[in-house]
Amino acid sequence: MNNCPNTIEVCFSPRLFGDIMTRGDYIVVLVDILRATTSICTAFENGVLRILPVDSLGEAKAMKERGFLVASEQDGQKLDFADFGNSAFNFTSEAIGGKTLVYCTTNGTRALEIAKPAKKIAIGAFINLSALANWLESQKSNVVILCSGWKNKFCLEDTIFAGALAENLLGKAGFESHCDSAVAAIDLWHTAKNDLLGYIEKAAHRHRLKRLGLDDVVPFSFQIDQTDVVPVFEEGEISNVKLLSNENH
């Protein structure tokens, strides 16, 4: 069994996740570059202890009342009761170091719910690309890269990340792919990679964030390998498995 290569599939929308044909155990890499998964990686880089994702505003509000720090937004806007919106720049060491953060977003948390049949769910962003790829290599498991999209629609920024990660994994021993989505994502990554910020000017969500005044985080979100954290969702919470594994040694 361990001699068979592990497969890589790319899923362009949570709506398509049920059609993914991966057999057996697989790890999902959840991607929401603008902005949830970039923000989560940033929070772990800056020392957050754990993140509790919730999928409803009511639950987020209840957690706030129980004394947790809460990041919550709707359609890109921070909600009044919350401590933070969804920008990575909120999650400084001073604000979240050593603490537990409750996290609720429009897209990301719902995709997390959909991916729950997976063995593990890892959080992927350009800022932790190589660390994530190395961890995935160590897991000897099939991989499904799940793009959150925008309201279930295909989105460019998640897709080019999926292409970058798929290409990185296919360059390692033990992976193969027979998935048209992976081919397309890798080709789009090649089209984009020499000028990522220029390319992403074509993305609808980049302009949506601009209209909302929330696009200050865009350049940071496309900087590759800014952190070696690997946030993984298991048993209701996200923790940094890279850190845990270091602590075990």
What residues line the site for a copy of itself (CB under 8 A)? 12-13, 15-16, 19-21, 151-156, 159, 178-181, 183-184, 187-188, 190-191, 202-205
Nearer residue to a copy of itself within complex by CB, 41 or 203? 203
Nearest to 209 by CA among 117, 112, 88: 88
Pairs from 71-80 (Cβ < 8 Å, separation ≥ 24): 71/39, 71/101, 71/102, 71/103, 71/104, 71/105, 72/102, 72/103, 72/104, 72/105, 73/104, 73/105, 73/106, 74/106, 75/106, 76/106, 76/208, 76/209, 76/212, 76/214, 77/212
Which CB sits closer to a copy of itself, 143 or 229?
A: 143
* Min separation Cβ 207 and a copy of itself, Å: 8
Q: Are 146 and 105 in contact (CB under 8 A)?
A: no
Among residues 18 and 236, whose Cβ is nearest to a copy of itself?
18
Shortest spacing between CB 153 and a copy of itself, in angstroms: 5
The percent of the chain in helix, strand and coil, each rounded to the nearest 5, is 45, 20, 35
CB of 109 to a copy of itself, least distance (A): 18
Q: Which is nearer to a copy of itself, 31 or 203 (CB)?
A: 203
**Looking at beta carbons only, is 12 or 135 nearer to a copy of itself?**
12
Least gap, CB of 6 to a copy of itself (angstroms)? 17
Instruction: For the CB of residue 199, give the shortest distance to a copy of itself in the complex, in Å.
Output: 9
